[in-house]
């Protein structure tokens, strides 16, 4: 892994991996959504509204998974001082925030016909909203640290502390009374019928590739910005010396 900490090696890998992830993700997602919209039957209880499952669940999983990625990168910053770990965390933060916001939006759209309301302040929805705020705070903190030249350890600490919210989201429907359904997929088993599970997993795979492509593109942009700023500072110093 440390071999790819070299910016040149990382850029060489990311240059082809970024479009590969995006194109592959769009293809898989398109197939999964077409399958979910036009092939799978309506649910016995939820009817046609069940089809939002193929959007809502990937958004929710990747919103939570994104923060775990930030936590892992933050750990690398604090323990190993991995050269690109801080950039990785910043690259993950934007798609993580986007997917979390989409999870909340699709959940509200699904909740209106299923529960009779757009929103309830229960454990699952509230902890997911907290995750969105954590993403916004992390992005602002990381940008401020980069702009002011502050150590990347400060946003890294925030990234680790924010990970406490992930198990709360995961277990909220077990710990507290909730309108939200209990976990449908747990370790080694699933309560979802195979007719829905297969396109759902395909959708998760597709959106995961899109997420990875966006994160890599963000990392490339941030690295290019840092390199451009370094060149400008070097030229300014040379001009002063001359």
pLDDT at residue 187, rounded to an integer = 54
pLDDT at residue 191, rounded to an integer = 65
Q: Give the helix/strand (H/E) hosting 190.
A: strand 189-190
Q: 27-175+194-241: which CATH architecture?
A: Up-down Bundle (1.20)
Whether residue 25 is predicted with pLDDT greater than 80 in this model: the reply is yes
pLDDT band at 178 (very low <50, low <70, confident <90, very high): confident
Whether residue 173 is predicted with pLDDT greater than 90 in this model: the reply is no
pLDDT at residue 159, rounded to an integer = 97
Cα separation of the two ends of the chain:
41
Question: Span 203-225, mean pLDDT?
Answer: 96
pLDDT band at 3 (very low <50, low <70, confident <90, very high): low
pLDDT band at 4 (very low <50, low <70, confident <90, very high): low
pLDDT at residue 5, rounded to an integer = 64
Question: Span 144-160, mean pLDDT?
Answer: 92
Question: Span 221-235, mean pLDDT?
Answer: 77
pLDDT band at 2 (very low <50, low <70, confident <90, very high): low
pLDDT at residue 135, rounded to an integer = 98
Q: Which residue has the higher pLDDT, 239 or 221?
A: 221
Helices (H), the chain: 7-38, 53-75, 85-115, 123-148, 153-162, 165-175, 194-241
Whether residue 162 is predicted with pLDDT greater than 80 in this model: the reply is yes
Q: Which of 5, 19, 153, 154 is nearest to 88 (CA)?
A: 5
């Amino acid at each position: 892994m440390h071999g790819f900490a070299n910016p040149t090696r990382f850029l060489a890998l990311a240059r082809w991996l970024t479009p590969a992830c995006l194109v592959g993700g769009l293809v898989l997602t398109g197939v999964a959504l077409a399958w979910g919209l036009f092939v799978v039957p309506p649910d016995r209880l939820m009817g046609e509204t069940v089809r939002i499952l193929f959007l809502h669940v990937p958004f929710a999983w990747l919103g939570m998974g994104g923060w775990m990625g930030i936590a892992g990168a933050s750990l690398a910053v604090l323990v190993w001082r991995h050269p690109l770990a801080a950039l990785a965390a910043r690259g993950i933060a934007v798609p993580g925030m986007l997917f979390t916001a989409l999870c909340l939006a699709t959940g509200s759209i699904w909740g209106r016909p299923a529960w009779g309301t757009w929103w309830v302040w229960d454990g699952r929805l509230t902890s997911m909203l907290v995750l969105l705020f954590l993403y916004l705070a992390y992005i602002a903190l990381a940008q401020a640290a980069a702009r002011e030249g502050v150590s990347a350890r400060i946003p890294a600490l925030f990234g680790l502390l924010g990970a406490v919210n992930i198990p709360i989201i995961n277990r909220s429907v077990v710990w507290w009374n909730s309108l939200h359904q209990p976990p449908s997929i747990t370790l080694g088993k699933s309560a979802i019928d195979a007719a829905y599970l297969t396109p759902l997993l395909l959708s998760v795979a597709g959106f995961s590739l899109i997420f990875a492509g966006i994160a890599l593109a963000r990392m490339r942009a941030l690295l290019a910005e840092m390199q451009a700023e370094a060149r400008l500072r070097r030229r300014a110093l040379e001009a002063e010396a001359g």
